[in-house]
Every structure is written in structure tokens, then in C-alpha cells.
Amino acid sequence: MAQRTGRRPGNRDTSGEILAAARTIFSERGYDSASIRQIAAMAGVDAALVHHYFGTKEQLFRDVVDIPVEPAALIADIFGAGVEAVPERIVQSFLGICEGPATGPALFGLLRGAVSHQWQGLLLREYFTTQIIRRVLSRLDTVVDPAEIPLRASLVSSQLIGLTLARYIFHYEPLASVRSELVVKLVAPNIQRYILGELDLTEEDARQLVTVLTGLEDAGK
């Protein structure tokens, strides 16, 4: 047994305490600014123990969010039919998550929680932004202006979240009952515009975007 050094040994619910600390740190600081060191300090354990239980920061984050989705596999699938098909594949993959017997309920649970609890909303945002949409967009950086990626990512998210609510949670008809192939055909062109379309930003728009994003970075986000 480890000696008492002010740090807790592994025989209490250490992994639960690490997860609780990670939840707080990730939702308060966002994925990018969070560190294993901060999480370990909050849980009162050594950083090595966090790695031992949960692996990398990314793996820990996925355990906190707890949607059984493997981002790497998802992104491979989204790019599996070339850049042209990316918008269609995004909608397809997203509907696949919503309609999966394990992933659907997990996502809907998180989404419901996100609406009532600020921290769950922040986790959901961080998950989609950092793990999925930003990665997809950064693979398109030869065709998309990198300065526009965060804006495009948030627009894509707005449509996908709204689609999830309208089709699966509020059951807006006929969108809720038509087959998913039709939903893909209907929604993909709008996702395409958000990802690849000309946004016609004026110089003033571009300046405002920089101000907003710089402000966020300065605030430690």
C-alpha cells in the first residue's frame, strides 16, 4: 500500500474521482486548454495515475463524454468516398450515430442533459467541435480558409443539432418518418454550403471574427 502523502491511494473510487475532476476541468476550460496535470491536481492524485487509468487526454475526454463513437473511424468513413462526398457522408454518419442502438440513446441523453445543465452543453460542444467537426474541416484546409474553420464548424453543428432534435426528439413530421437516405439528400447540400460554400465575409465580418476568436483565446478557451 502507498504511504499517505496527501495523495489518495488507488483503493477508493479513484477512477470515479478522476472522471468527476475531468468533467469539471473539460467543461470549465474546454478540451484544448484542459490538461491531465490540472485534472490530477483536482482529483488529488498523480498525473501518472490518470494516464494509467484512462490513457491520453483524448481517451479520458471520450470516457467523460461517454458516447460510444470512435472519432478516428468516423472521420475515415466521412472521407471514404473523396472530398466531394464529405457533406453527404457527414449527414449519413450523423444519422448512423442517431439511429445506432447504443450511440443514439447516448447522444440523445447527452443532448437532453446539455439543454438543462450548462456543463453538459459545454462537454457536448467540446466533443463535437474538437473531436469531429474541426478534424474534418482541418483535412479540408487546402480548399477552406483556415480562419473560417471555427465559424463553419459552428454552422455545421447548428444544422446537425437541429436535425437531431427535429427528427429524433421533437419528431417533426414528415422529417421524422422519411427514410434516412432522403434526409441525407435533403440536408447534405446545406451542410456542403456551410463547409465549402462562399460565405461572402466582408472585411468587417472577418475583423469581427478575429476579434471574437482572439477574445476566446485570451479568456483561456
Give the number of other Cβ atoms within 10 Å of residue 140's Cβ.
16
For residue 189, cis peptide bond before it (omega within 30 degrees of 0): no
Kindly state the smallest distance separating residue 103's Cβ from a copy of itself, in Å: 18
> 187: exposed, middle or buried (C-beta count within 10 Å: 0-12, 13-18, 19+)?
buried
CA distances to 50, 51, 60, 84, 142 from 22, rounded to whole Å, are: 10, 12, 8, 38, 34
> Using CB under 8 A, which of 121, 134, 139, 144 touches a copy of itself?
121
User: Looking only at residues 183 through 202 of this chain, which bind a copy of itself when binding is defined by CB under 8 A?
Assistant: 185-187, 189-190, 193-194, 197, 199-201
Q: Does 173 contact a copy of itself by CB under 8 A?
A: yes
Q: Does 170 contact a copy of itself by CB under 8 A?
A: yes
Size of the site for a copy of itself (CB under 8 A): 55
Name the H helices within the chain: 14-33, 36-43, 47-54, 57-65, 71-78, 86-99, 103-116, 118-126, 134-138, 149-164, 180-196, 203-218
The region of 56-64, 81-89, 92-100, 163-171 touching a copy of itself under the rule CB under 8 A is: 163-171
Kindly state the smallest distance separating residue 17's Cβ from a copy of itself, in Å: 27
Amino acid at 17: E
- Considering beta carbons, is residue 50 or 155 the nearer one to a copy of itself? 155
User: Looking only at residues 39 through 58 of this chain, which bind a copy of itself when binding is defined by CB under 8 A?
Assistant: none
Q: Does 2 contact a copy of itself by CB under 8 A?
A: no
> Using CB under 8 A, which of 167, 184, 188, 195 touches a copy of itself?
167
Closest of 56, 30, 70 to residue 150, by C-alpha: 30
Helix axis angle, 180-196 to 149-164, nearest 10°: 160
- Considering beta carbons, is residue 14 or 27 the nearer one to a copy of itself? 27
Kindly state the smallest distance separating residue 104's Cβ from a copy of itself, in Å: 15
Q: Binding residues for a copy of itself, per CB under 8 A?
A: 111-112, 114-116, 121-122, 124-125, 129, 150-151, 154-155, 157-163, 165-167, 169-179, 182, 185-187, 189-190, 193-194, 197, 199-201, 205, 208-209, 212-213, 215-216, 221
